[in-house]
Amino acid sequence: MAEIVIKNLRKTFGDFTAVRDSSFTIKDGEFFMLLGPSGCGKTTTLRMIAGLELPTSGEIYLDGEEISQQPPSKRDIAFVFQMFALYPHMNVRRNISYPLVSQGMAKADVKAKVAEVANILGINDILDRPVGGLSGGDRQRVALGRAIVRDPKAFMMDEPLGALDAEFREHMAEELRALHDRMNATTVYVTHDQLEAMQMGDKIVVMNNAVVEQFGTPQEIYDKPATMFVADFIGSPSMNFLHFDGQIQKDSARVAMNGATYAVPKQHTDAGGKLVFGVRPEHVRLSDSGGLRAGVLATEYLGTTQIITLDSGNGELKARVDADQPVKVGESVGLDFKPETITLFDAESGAALPSALNEGVVAHG
């Protein structure tokens, strides 16, 4: 059992706030992603969970026990670093056994444990090789072995695949996820790569500027963004934003935008002023029915689909449509949207307006 509960966690460095009032729960056995752009506070959050950095305020619980101020050695959490920090003068076996030997474990037990870990990782045949000549993947496996061998309650991983090239990265991501599924150990994983987070994570926390913007499953984060930041950061191409001045009443399921009326999910509050109509490219339909019109600026052929760049009076947008739909640059097309996928945002705060679409969404910690 290794559940990690984060409550109002905060970290300041002098006047600078790196993490502001984060709260979320990492359930036992979850592969949990901390996602966000560079400098948003992901690594600082991870380091606080591992005990490498002490919080300025707030609490961290591991299996119900408060560990916020405990040193790393008392936390039973293993940290896997990006640059596969191995001991270059030792062979693979000694690198993996090092944490056990330094704990004073009996020789026979160490041998058995290393054999077990080598089996899990499929590296039996390289145990006696020096780490110096190993491939990137094998070095990564050895680094993981050194973390696994301790049987920690949880693993912390800080961009562990960051140094690998794209193809190999994808392979190692699959391997890591498969390893997690075999061991079922709680894992917290930092990445700035939204695709990696979506592919690997059971849950994702999206951070921006020291703040948790949203917390949920990959599907919730993609389909029900809590803020414009999340909608923009997740997905490629990202969500389209059409800016307009408008009014919408509680319980209404229609919105008027520049004289055109569109069906949207039932809204839970009144709203008005500067609003944003958010729609993902795959939910934009090109049609001849009424509504807004847009000029086709560009088409990009992707095999089964094509991405159409359009210029509407409310801003540029992208549509992902079937590759065989005939669309020509320069022509004018009507815009239609799948109503159940629309998110309306308040332009000033960037927050999604509450509606039937995003009930239960956890935003801002």
The residues binding ligand ATP (CB under 6 A) are 13, 16, 18, 36, 38-44, 192
- The least CB distance from residue 44 to ligand ATP, in Å, is 3
Tokens 């969970």 — which residue? Answer: 49
Q: How far is the CB of 171 from ligand ATP (least distance, A)?
A: 22
**What is the smallest separation between the CB atom of 41 and ligand ATP, expressed in angstroms?**
4
**Residue 18 or 126: which CB sits closer to ligand ATP?**
18
Closer residue to ligand ATP in complex, CB, 18/352: 18
Residue type, 321: V
The answer to whether the CB of 231 falls within 8 A of the CB of 343 is yes
**Separation of alpha carbons 169 and 225, rounded Å:** 27
Measuring CA to CA, how many Å separate 10 from each of 7, 41, 152, 169, 306? Answer: 9, 10, 25, 32, 44
Q: Pairing state of beta strands 284-287 and 293-301?
A: unpaired
Nearer to ligand ATP, 40 or 239 (CB): 40
Nearer to ligand ATP, 20 or 180 (CB): 20
Q: In angstroms, what is the minimal distance from the CB of 69 to ligand ATP?
A: 18
Residue 35 CB, nearest approach to ligand ATP (Å): 9
The identity of residue 301, as a single letter, is Y
Q: Residue 65 pairs with which residues in a beta bridge? A: 62
Query: Which of residues 36 and 216 has its CB atom nearest to ligand ATP in the complex?
Result: 36
Considering the complex, what minimum distance in angstroms separates the CB of residue 18 from ligand ATP? Answer: 3
- As a dihedral over the C-alpha atoms of residue 55, residue 56, residue 59, residue 60, rounded to 10 degrees, the angle is 0
CB of 210 vs ligand ATP, minimal distance in Å: 7
Cβ distance to ligand ATP smaller for residue 121 or 188 = 188
With respect to ligand ATP, which residue has the nearer C-beta, 232 or 282?
232
DSSP state of 339: G
The SS3 call for residue 281 is helix
> What type of residue sits at position 360?
G
Exposure string over 26-38, b if 16+ CB within 10 A, otherwise e:
beebbbbbbbbee
Cα dihedral value 120, 126, 127, 129, nearest 10: -160
